[in-house]
Structure 1
Amino acid sequence: MKKNIFKRYIGKSILLLLCITVIIILLRSPLLAVGHISVSGNETLNKDEICSIAGIKDPVNIFAISTDNLQNRLENDLRIEKATVRRNFPNTALSIEIRERHPVATLQCSYGYVDIAQNDIIIHAYKNLHTVKIPLLTGTVLPDVYIGDIVTDETITKTVHYLSGLDNDTLAQIAELNIADPQNIIAYTSGGVKIKLGDLSLLEQEIKETTVFLHDLNGMNRPVDYVDFSYGAPVLKFKP
């Protein structure tokens, strides 16, 4: 009697184990790769690049992945500042929302040039200066730095934070910032107008004043030589 009970127990245990194994195999099987991948928030990275970074392909078996692992893989890429990965039911979709990390300034270093993002992290490095689409910081040269390094120089970080506070349209009008003298930082627009920023001690105020000034600049009837924000109120000087 006891022998029969033991045999039935063993048989049920084996059957349960087989069922669990089959379920696991099915859940991880490509046959269940029915979920599609949706990507949002991307600007420069396309869907294929994002999937490659995450290590997945479309369609995807949404039961065989870890959303936390995918998020970590994405955020380990310096081009991605924040990633959110979710399973969406009942349409069995995998939703990936990202916020890209954008460079706001280019700066010369000991071996070439680097691009610095909003959070002072170096995200690109190259030997020769390419077509600059973001402001070039002049007047200083970084020592040996590498992709992924955090810039700690106070003048550079203050300037990067100033640029990070500008909207895209305003940022696109600034071609260069000379930071040789930390007390007298000067920005130059693509049209050659000087913006005297002083030591950027009034950062938020100077971000607002720069935005307003560059918004109004094209509508001014006289050519502007410079604007000085280092005083209590902006001082505007026209060309003769």
Structure 2
Amino acid sequence: MSLAIAERKLTHPGRKRWLQEGPKKRKGKTQKKEKPAIRSFDLDFAALFKTAAETFARGVLVLAFCYGAFHGYLFLTSSSRFAVSQISIEGLDRLNKQSLLESMPLIEGKNLFLLDLESITERLTGHPWVSAASVQRKWPNAVTIQIAERKPYARIQLDDIYVMDNFGILVTRSQDEFLHLPLITGTLNEAPDLGQRVVSNEILKGLRAMHYLNRLPFFKKDPVTSVQITGPSLLTFSTREQGLKIRMAANDVQAGFQNFKIILDALNPTRDGVDIIDLSFRNKVVIQPKPGNKGSGHRRKA
């Protein structure tokens, strides 16, 4: 039986080939190994040098720019060539240059580049007489200021008599030169600081109504010069020469003004004897004669 197994092994095809190859072929086949591939790198030293040189040049340029910018800034902000030596102000009427300069930060001798124009403008518009202002640099050492002054429009009785513009801004205490302006009385407001708005609807209504009345030919020779505010609902206007009084409802000035224009023709012949024209009613006008004058007050429907 062992002979039969041995014979079967020897007759196997793969076994026969292995025996026929011989020991050298078998040994060479089993020990053959592939050698690893060796990679070769070709360094381009010229390209590397060019890249390094360009990087270095960029760095030098950046440093040179920073150095120049820094020293340029120092020159512009410290050189006496840019110290403010000329200040011109345009738009002055009642104000004078010196008083206006005293109300703003000192800018003469300051560096032109370091001026805070916004702060200077804010200080200028804080002046009671200044309604608007603009500040500009003029190279190399000048500043130009343009202002718009408020226009005196009326006087108002508070704790003292003040002058105000047509927006209700107090500009100064009244002086002799403002005696020709209309006078507003009867207000309950305390006096605010100069430059602040007198926030009273009655005052603003009185100003508008006074303005419209004085535009009528009826008041050309004897203009309305004062208005008394009685509570929240009644305005009483008075003319300068004859003291003619016109009453209107503060909450309906427009209707009173229209009623007045309707009765103008009837008023002209008898104006001298009229004491009060009451326009505070919506659908009628009450005319009262002066005391001692013949006739009694009468009413006209508007």
Residue by residue, what CA displacement relative to the aligned partner does 1:89-130 show, whole Å, maximum 9, x if unpaired? 89x661413132535231234xx44444433344446xxx86
- 1:190 and 2:240 are equivalent in the alignment: yes
- 1:39 and 2:90 are equivalent in the alignment: yes
Shift of 1:135: 2.8
**Structure number having the greater helix percentage:** 2
- 1:52 and 2:107 are equivalent in the alignment: no
Amino acid at match of 2:78: I
SS in 2 for 1:179: strand
Shift of 1:196: 0.8
Q: Which residue of 2 aligns with 1:157?
A: 204
Shift of 1:180: 2.0
Shift of 1:233: 10
Gaps of 5+ in 2: 1-51, 294-302
Counterpart Cα distance in 1 of 2:111 and 2:202 = 49
Counterpart Cα distance in 1 of 2:87 and 2:253 = 48
Amino acid at match of 1:37: S
Gaps of 5+ in 1: 214-219
Match of 1:147 among 179, 193, 197: 193
Counterpart Cα distance in 2 of 1:82 and 1:221 = 47
RMSD: 4.9
Shift of 1:25: 1.8
Counterpart Cα distance in 1 of 2:277 and 2:129 = 35
Tell me which moved more, 226-235 or 131-140.
226-235
Residue by residue, what CA displacement relative to the aligned partner does 1:1-37 show, whole Å, maximum 9, x if unpaired? 99x988997677445422321122237743x63x451
Please give the TM-score of this superposition, normalised by the length of structure 1.
Answer: 0.61
- 1:202 and 2:253 are equivalent in the alignment: yes
- 1:137 and 2:184 are equivalent in the alignment: yes
Q: Which residue of 2 aligns with 1:217?
A: none
- Of the two structures, which has the highest relative contact order with CA contacts closer than 8 Å and spacing of 6 or more? 1
Amino acid at match of 1:76: G
Counterpart Cα distance in 2 of 1:83 and 1:236 = 49
Count of equivalent residues? 220
Q: Which residue of 2 aligns with 1:119?
A: 167
Whether the 8 Å contact between 2:107 and 2:115 is mirrored in structure 1 is: no
Please give the TM-score of this superposition, normalised by the length of structure 2.
Answer: 0.51
Q: 1:25 to 1:163 in 2, by over 3 A?
A: farther
Whether the 8 Å contact between 1:88 and 1:95 is mirrored in structure 2 is: no
Q: Which residue of 1 aligns with 2:122?
A: 72
Whether the 8 Å contact between 1:114 and 1:123 is mirrored in structure 2 is: yes
Q: Which structure: larger Rg? A: 2
SS in 2 for 1:54: coil
Q: 1:82 to 1:7 in 2, by over 3 A?
A: closer
Q: How high is the sequence identity, in percent, across the aligned residues?
A: 13
Whether the 8 Å contact between 1:184 and 1:199 is mirrored in structure 2 is: yes
